[in-house]
Amino acid sequence: MAQKLWEKSVQVNKNIERFTVGLDREMDLYLAKYDVLGSMAHITMLESIDLLTKQELTQLLAELKNIYATAEKGEFVIEEGVEDVHSQVELLLTRKLGDVGKKIHSGRSRNDQVLLDLKLFTRAEIKEIAESVEQLFHVLIRQSERYKNVLMPGYTHLQIAMPSSFGLWFGAYAESLADDMLFLQAAFKMCNRNPLGSAAGYGSSFPLNRTMTTQLLGFDSLDYNVVYAQMGRGKMERNVAFAMATIAGTLSKMAFDACLFNSQNFGFVKLPDECTTGSSIMPHKKNPDVFELTRAKCNKIQALPQQIMMIANNLPSGYFRDLQIIKEIFLPAFQELKDCLDMATYIMDKIKVNEHILDDDKYQLIFSVEEVNRLAREGMPFRDAYKKVGLDIEAGNFSPNKEVHHTHEGSIGNLCNDEISALMQQIVNGFNFHCMETAESVLLGRS
């Protein structure tokens, strides 16, 4: 059985080991290739300050690339008795290269190692989330343009209120995603700073070149203060979780709208048949389960920042084992959000719109404001026009003109989709994912 990196002469109680390790070995599989990537940068720096020879560096980098390829294929395994991903990587190197493998931990602690792994993992996941959001955004903009002349009722208090349009409805969620992306970009920029070299949170007596590892890994900058670098554990996850929660909030609301509008009592939209499920006893049922599950999953993601906050909230500076538990709720959340985004993109692309909703007389009253505004434009004081139309409605004398003429920015007749698209593109460009991708490619010898 492999010895733990910290273990000396006394072996830990097996029940204590089971409790303290928890799900960490399972969670660390998410981090495997990023742990290898971080080690490659670290040892390249160690060679530059003469803690490794050129030959040792060459040997270690070659073997680390092999381990990375294994992790990339999903074949990396943390063996029984090995505590975590860091221990497993070092064990594999030591088996292959002997004492040379034991040298990679100089100037490093598992504390800054996991900080680095989490940041490398998270920034890669943010990139995938951003790409998925962008795909959904483009679908919504296309649908907004396609159905921009199809009117639908707008609601306040779930009462019919004023004319809206499918151009507005699709476009509203597109612009919401643009704001969500701005939040995601801020989270990415806070994540994309290098904690490596902070060691256990108090630095190292080795003359580490932290600027070099920052450049090798394509970070924007350092987490400079070593104590703050350690304090960032939990804070980074919470900030990213808030950004994920804003996206999830948009998806949840859109999913609820779609479920409501798909019901027979509304009949505004029709979800693709292949995206609905049936009933075991009611042969007519076509249930919007995908969007119902999307709503539930996204509501769960919206609770994620609070869960992280409650784990890390009352901790002083320095490292505490509490932080391990954050991984269990944080790491799997990215795939759940990506799944929801992918489902929403597919369905919103294929959703069918009812183009004759307002032919039904029950929606006549939503044109009352149009009539008030028409009278006001002709010179009647607005309050008098409002009263006149209200009395006509009470007397049953209201006969609406269903022509709608909205011209101001962001209205039915002037959706500003080009401006919203330009805003999204500006935000997407601001991520600058290219820098991290190039650095990782160079480090792996793939450029």
Residues taking part in catalysis: 157, 279
β-bridge mates for residue 164, sequence order: 152
Rounded CA-CA distance 51/54 in Å is 10
